[in-house]
Amino acid sequence: MNLPKNISDLIQGKEYTSDGIGMSKAKVMIFDDFVLKIEKISKQNDETVEVMRWLEGKLPVPKVICYEKDDEYQYLLMSRIKGKMGCDEEYMTNPQELTKRLAESIRMFWNVDVSDCPRTWDLDANLKEARYRVENGLVDVDKAEPSTFGEGGFKDPMDLLLWLENNRPSYEPVFSHGDFCLPNILMNDDGISGFIDLGNSGIGDKWEDIAICYRSLRWNAEGTYGGKVYPDVKSQMLFDALGIEPDMEKIRYFILLDELF
């Protein structure tokens, strides 16, 4: 692949590794000081870069170094945030500290002033995108939780979509990460080092990030990811650290919504 000259000049001769974590189809090259993300052209990528630039000084997120496009691809070169993922064994074996940091992370997003946020990724936008994905056969039901589709669950993605459209919860707007799973929260000895994978960030619902974080914590504790079980990690600890009662109806709603993405 021929890289744009501005980017090629910055990374020439530097060693890198490829990132295989996550469900993105992007090519990700990780250097010591940079991360290069290469994706097919989409309007969403342009919006993500705009949000990342807007977030400078507001949250610890990667700094956009260079953003280039050609006829087929978009190339985002950004600063690398170093740290261990929230699902690292160091934190999974210390659940009190982990859930304290997760709660701190969620509050950091809540505290961002969204008055001039350049992107809204609320339920209207989510459901519009979900309908597009369902109608175009883009939903992979094999990646859904076993109880979502089939006996005792929804007949198919369209059945789920119609339920989501007809059972919308009340809206509690905040700045939302959009994919607040443990691998996207980086930590170090001092606390939170930063947040990555901001492709769905923008003004969204308070409970969306809580729901995805809750599910990610549960999956990692149960061994769904990584294969190791951490019996001392209890999902309720996240709500204790946040100091709120869990709204399980809203949490279930946003987990089900995510099944269509």
Instruction: Tell me the per-residue pLDDT of 192-213, one tens digit each, with 9 for 90 and over.
Output: 999 999 999 999 999 999 999 9
| Residue 244 exposure: Cα atoms within 13 Å on the Cβ side | 11
* Residue 22 in this model has a pLDDT that exceeds 70: no
pLDDT, average across residues 135-142: 96
Query: Residue 20 — very low, low, confident or very high, per pLDDT cuts 50/70/90?
Result: low
pTM to 2 decimal places? 0.92
Query: Residue 180 — very low, low, confident or very high, per pLDDT cuts 50/70/90?
Result: very high
Question: Quick one: tokens of 121?
Answer: 């990724």
Domain range summary for the chain, segments of one domain joined by +: 5-79, 84-258
Based on the residue annotation, tell me whether 197 is a catalytic residue of this protein: no
* Residue 21 in this model has a pLDDT that exceeds 90: no
CATH 3.30.230.10, applies to 5-79: no
User: What pLDDT does 24 receive?
Assistant: 55
Contact present, 81 and 193 (Cβ < 8 Å): yes
User: What pLDDT does 23 receive?
Assistant: 53
Query: Residue 144 — very low, low, confident or very high, per pLDDT cuts 50/70/90?
Result: very high
Instruction: Tell me the per-residue pLDDT of 28-72, one tens digit each, with 9 for 90 and over.
Output: 999 999 999 999 999 999 999 999 999 999 999 999 999 999 999
Average confidence score pLDDT of the chain: 95
CATH second-level architecture of 84-258? Alpha-Beta Complex (3.90)
Contact present, 208 and 187 (Cβ < 8 Å): no
Choose between 85 and 225: higher pLDDT.
85
The catalytic residue among 46, 179, 247, 258 is 179
What single string gives the DSSP state of each residue in the chain?
Answer: ----HHHHHHHTT---EE---SS--SEEEE-SSEEEEEEE--HHHHHHHHHHHHHTTTS--PPEEEEEE-SSEEEEEEEPPPSEETTSHHHHT-HHHHHHHHHHHHHHHHTS--TT-S-B--HHHHHHHHHHHHHTT---GGGS-TTTBSTTSBSSHHHHHHHHHHSPPPP-EEEE-S---GGGEEEETTEEEEE---TT-EEEEHHHHHHHHHHHHHHHHHTTTTS---TT--THHHHHHHTS---HHHHHHHHHHHTT-
User: What pLDDT does 26 receive?
Assistant: 84
Query: Residue 106 — very low, low, confident or very high, per pLDDT cuts 50/70/90?
Result: very high
User: What pLDDT does 2 receive?
Assistant: 85
pLDDT, average across residues 82-101: 97
User: What pLDDT does 226 receive?
Assistant: 83
Question: Quick one: tokens of 175?
Answer: 């700045």
Query: Residue 25 — very low, low, confident or very high, per pLDDT cuts 50/70/90?
Result: confident
Q: Considering only CA atoms, give the Rg of the chain.
A: 19
- Beta strand 73-79 with 173-176 is unpaired
